[in-house]
Amino acid sequence: MTTKLPLSRLLIMAAAVVFSGLTLAAPAAAAPTGACPDVQVVFARGTGEPAGIGRVGQSFVDALRPLASGKSIDVYAVNYPATRDFLRAAEGANDASLFVQNMAATCPDTSIVLGGYSQGAAVIDAIAVAQTPTLGFTQPMPATVADHVAAVAVFGNPSIRLLGGPLTALSPLYGSKTIDLCNGADPVCSNGNDVAAHSLYGESGLTTQAAQFVAGRLAGAAPITTLSGRG
């Protein structure tokens, strides 16, 4: 599959297979400091998780902080319903896009990290792939914003199974700076049937793997394009 697929198909197909019922407690996202941070994480939670960045997002951020070489890290939780009304994922894409564009404009030296889990991964797919408005997504990001995004980390991404490949292959601007991880036979992102695997990204070590990848990107390491965590 290629990036020529319309965003409408991406959002509907990707989000429609995301499992609900993952109502797992999660700490709230860190509040903005008011000053430009060294690193700004923008994370979209999965279906059914309470407002914030969710369990997977928190596990990822917790793993990243000690690896970031003393850099200050702020966290923004993408504001969207994350319900089974999957078309409303476009609200998350709009919110994430506007936040990232504003951050790039007001804090041009800040390294932005995009992340998402499950339906939240589909939100990140949208802003990384779409070039024109469609199906409620009205805020595609200018190509120049990609220069401010240091890394992308997505987990349990439906596009791997439904669109035939990970975000690394779908996005010319962001693919080379992306890690797209699927936990074993997680049915959301693979042809497997291990439903429990979809909720075990922290426990499986994949959030740590993603944090190591992102830390390398933040330190100026060469882009890694292989996908070592897929099932």
Q: Are 194 and 220 in contact (CB under 8 A)?
A: no
Residue 62 has pLDDT above 60, yes or no: yes
The string of pLDDT tens digits covering residues 106-161 is 999 999 999 999 999 999 999 999 888 777 889 999 999 999 999 999 999 998 87
Dmax (CA) for the chain in angstroms is 45
Domain locations along the chain: 7-16+46-218
> Average pLDDT, stretch 5-30?
40
H or E element in which residue 211 lies:
helix 206-218
Residue 48 gets the label, from left (phi > 0), alpha (psi -120 to 50) or beta, of: left
Nearest-angstrom CA–CA distance, 172 and 94? 20
pLDDT band at 11 (very low <50, low <70, confident <90, very high): low
Return the exposure string of 9-26: e unless at least 16 CB atoms fall within 10 Å of the residue's CB, then b.
Answer: ebbbbbbebbbeebeeeb
Q: Which residues contact 79 (CB under 8 A, 6 or more apart)?
A: 51, 91, 92, 95
Residue 204 has pLDDT above 80, yes or no: yes
Instruction: Please tell us whether the domain made up of 7-16+46-218 is placed in CATH 3.40.50.1820.
Output: yes
Q: Which residues are catalytic?
A: 118, 186, 198
Give the pLDDT of residue 30.
Answer: 35
Give the pLDDT of residue 164.
Answer: 74
Top-confidence residue, 23 or 133: 133
